[in-house]
């Protein structure tokens, strides 16, 4: 079932939790609400569920206006961050709860309920723990029970509030993959809240980035990372290297550093560059003069991460740059070495326009790009 949010706003006393915002969620989509704490993502989720009332605006499930509907009549599955399992009931009773409280004419027979609970527990691979109490389960198991419980009544909308937030990294990764598979199978429409960008990018069909009660950007994960529409989204998603400068003679200048700008973009402002959008050079090039010192080399994972501090100019935080292991060996960089870098691609936020413009530079001949 598709979800349509129209001009929904919410205020807690003097605090504007949600500015009026609208959002369309397609049927069968998995959408992540991503943002720092206090950005209003949980409030929005609770309003969709009906656990919180919106001050203004309407919520539609398909063609059904559910704005005035009580949470129990909205028929959503809801998963809480801290599981919220019923402590005094066994795992099986927890899962059966939603079926047992159905109105008499809709309620399956107790044999059918038992059968269905068994199927659900098979699905979450916990049938061997059916008679345990929640206190006897691990965090990951509890959250799977909570999911089974939420899916018992076959809701068409599944809402999850930081579903993996209280779990450790390894369990979290497993559950993510598992949830993704489950979604492929059952095709429910799902909205989940997270502050973990990896989680949002990995699980979602669409990511909604929020800050200060507003929607910053709605996009597919890959697009979101490749072309953020605001400084906030840039900062929030992954590392970004920022170069702030004054335009002068076709260049963006700061201290001893400069970067060549194409004619049509010439203005003072900030260049945002991802770690993979830059390359190391032995000498300054015709594109850029950016002297940096290697502060740390971190050879963990698929690439070697360099932490760089500027020499003779300034940045608000150290720059990061990723090299392949092969490339890294060729350069044989170590702490304290001086290097130059040049950008290949960047987003330019000029001081006069809100939206960024994309800039790319050709590969210069002196650049030390490694042939693959």
Which residues are near other proteins by CB under 8 A?
49, 51, 70-73, 75-78, 80, 82, 84-89, 97-98, 101-102, 133-136, 149-150, 152-153
CA distance 165 to 331: 40
In the complex, what is the shortest distance from the CB of residue 71 to other proteins, in angstroms, rounded to a whole number? 5
Question: Per the structure block, which two tokens stand in for 37?
Answer: 């704490």
Nearer to other proteins, 95 or 306 (CB): 95
Nearer to other proteins, 166 or 297 (CB): 166
In the complex, what is the shortest distance from the CB of residue 141 to other proteins, in angstroms, rounded to a whole number? 12
- For residue 327, give the nearest of 345, 315, 341 by alpha carbon: 341
- For residue 157, give the nearest of 54, 34, 61 by alpha carbon: 61
In the complex, what is the shortest distance from the CB of residue 136 to other proteins, in angstroms, rounded to a whole number? 4
Nearer to other proteins, 71 or 186 (CB): 71
Nearer to other proteins, 191 or 209 (CB): 191
- The radius of gyration of the chain from alpha carbons, rounded to an integer in Å, stands at 25
Nearer to other proteins, 93 or 235 (CB): 93
In the complex, what is the shortest distance from the CB of residue 149 to other proteins, in angstroms, rounded to a whole number? 7
In the complex, what is the shortest distance from the CB of residue 88 to other proteins, in angstroms, rounded to a whole number? 4
CA distance 252 to 311: 16
Question: Per the structure block, which two tokens stand in for 13?
Answer: 């006393």
Identify whether the C-beta of residue 309 lies closer than 8 Å to the C-beta of residue 317. Answer: no
Q: At what angle do helices 110-123 and 139-151 cross, to 10 degrees?
A: 130
Indicate the SS3 state at residue 138.
coil
């Amino acid at each position: 079932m598709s979800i349509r949010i129209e001009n929904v706003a919410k205020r807690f006393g003097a605090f504007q939790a949600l500015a009026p915002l609208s959002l369309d969620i397609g049927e069968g989509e998995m959408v992540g609400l991503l943002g720092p704490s206090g950005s209003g993502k949980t409030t929005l989720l609770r309003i969709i569920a009906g656990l919180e009332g919106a001050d203004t605006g309407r919520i539609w499930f398909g063609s059904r206006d559910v704005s005035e509907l009580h949470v129990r009549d909205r028929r959503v599955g809801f998963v809480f961050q801290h599981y919220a399992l019923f402590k005094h009931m066994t795992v099986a009773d927890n899962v059966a709860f939603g079926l047992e409280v159905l109105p008499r004419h809709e309620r399956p027979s107790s044999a059918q309920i038992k059968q269905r609970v068994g199927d659900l527990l098979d699905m979450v691979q916990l049938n061997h723990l059916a008679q345990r109490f929640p206190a006897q389960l691990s965090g990951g198991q509890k959250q799977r029970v909570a999911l089974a419980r939420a899916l018992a009544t076959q809701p068409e909308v599944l809402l999850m509030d930081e579903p993996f937030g209280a779990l450790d990294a390894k369990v979290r990764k497993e559950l993510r993959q598992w949830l993704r598979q489950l979604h492929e199978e059952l095709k429910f429409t799902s909205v989940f809240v997270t502050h973990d960008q990896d989680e949002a990018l990995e699980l979602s069909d669409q990511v909604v980035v929020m800050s200060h009660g507003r929607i910053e950007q709605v996009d597919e994960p890959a697009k979101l990372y490749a072309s953020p529409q605001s400084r906030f989204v840039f900062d929030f998603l992954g590392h970004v290297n920022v170069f702030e400068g004054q335009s002068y003679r076709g260049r963006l200048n700061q201290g001893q550093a400069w970067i060549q700008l194409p004619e049509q973009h010439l203005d003072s402002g900030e260049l945002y560059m991802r770690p993979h959008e830059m390359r190391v050079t032995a000498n300054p090039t015709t594109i850029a003069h950016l002297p940096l010192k290697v502060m740390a080399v971190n050879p963990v994972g698929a690439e070697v991460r360099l932490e760089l501090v500027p020499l003779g100019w300034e940045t608000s935080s150290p720059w990061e740059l990723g090299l392949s292991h092969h490339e890294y060996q060729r350069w044989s960089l170590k702490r304290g070495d001086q290097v130059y870098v040049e950008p290949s691609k960047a987003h330019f936020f000029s001081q006069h326009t809100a939206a960024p413009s994309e800039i790319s530079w050709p590969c210069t001949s002196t650049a030390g790009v490694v042939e693959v």
